[in-house]
Structure 1
């Protein structure tokens, strides 16, 4: 996980930081009001990081576009999906997306690197992922264009910076005061004398 954080972090530190980001994201999802279900779409078995009240379904598909489409298809209900790369996400941001999908709409939030941090869809909307190039600086723009081409008018949520590089991690930690992510990054910075 998070290989672009190394260096300056060691691989074990990068993995621990990814786990902290996931923990913070799950905490925000747990605190958000209005979700009928809380689902983690996972490749593998959940660890002790999974809080109570979350259902786990397996990831399926080859590429990220297929896995995203399968997640929405498997949930089978209006759903708002949040990635785990934005530990600064707040319950209120999640609630905005949930309100939109509960009201029959769609939602979308771009990431500052050109991707996206969230997407909310209705049942049957999952083909919007077909052929969208993932993990590029144009992924978010292409995904939004694909949604609009299918006649969807998503509510646009606040853009967030996701964590890909060490510089991203530092910037996100500054936004996510009091988070596990920020505390762990500060600990690593002290251990390694990394400037934060």
Structure 2
């Protein structure tokens, strides 16, 4: 199936993710959760993210995946493998796949994401879009011209409490007019999971998954 839903000014949407395999995802959730429970929560967060992006008009939707697709993947996405190297290299390579412009990349860790948060991307006249994360990283990054991404992303230290600040500075230093998206919290720890679940839309997969684990623990 083609992963296209044409719309004037619509962006190519990318999700960069790991296959939710126990022991490979959300390791900071263990403890208190087991590796299997952490993967269960990761799968729910990823599925929520993918289904949310299906509700955002897009030229194309890409899942940039480390691993193999599973039943959590809805129709409507083209799946491509992540490149080798650090996260900065993998993000740069993901944008290099985008012939259409603009393009926006999001992670798999913010199931509270709603279509409304992305409503202006690609249609507001900016050169770039940046979504900061509460832990000092970022949950979204976009470019009106994806060809600019490589030089701006490569070399940014990833997975630190300065990642977002460095990436935001690099966008400004490149002379790009940047639109700031709202700050969101990533799901990294058990405390994050509880706070994020409280912000998710009613009936979300992530909230339901977290509640089911709480029931089992009783």
TM-score range, shorter chain: over 0.9
Match of 2:135 in 1: 113
Gapped runs of 5+ residues in structure 1?
Answer: none
1:60-116 CA distances to partner (integer Å, 9 max, x unpaired)?
03100000000000123321111110000001112232434xx46210010000000
| Partner SS state of residue 196, structure 2 | helix
| Contact map agreement 1:97 1:157 (CA 8 A) in 2 | no
Normalized per residue, the structure richer in strand is 2
Q: Which runs of 4+ in 1 moved over 6 A?
A: none
Normalized per residue, the structure richer in helix is 1
Gapped runs of 5+ residues in structure 2?
Answer: 1-24
| Partner SS state of residue 105, structure 2 | strand
Q: Return the TM-score normalized by structure 2.
A: 0.84
Q: Return the TM-score normalized by structure 1.
A: 0.93
Q: 1:190 to 1:28 in 2, by over 3 A?
A: same
Alignment RMSD: 1.2
Q: 1:125 aligns with which of 139, 148, 157?
A: 148
| Partner SS state of residue 195, structure 2 | helix
Match of 1:84 in 2: 108
**For structure 1, which segment, 42-51 or 90-99, has the greater mean C-alpha deviation from structure 2 after superposition?**
90-99
Match of 1:58 in 2: 81
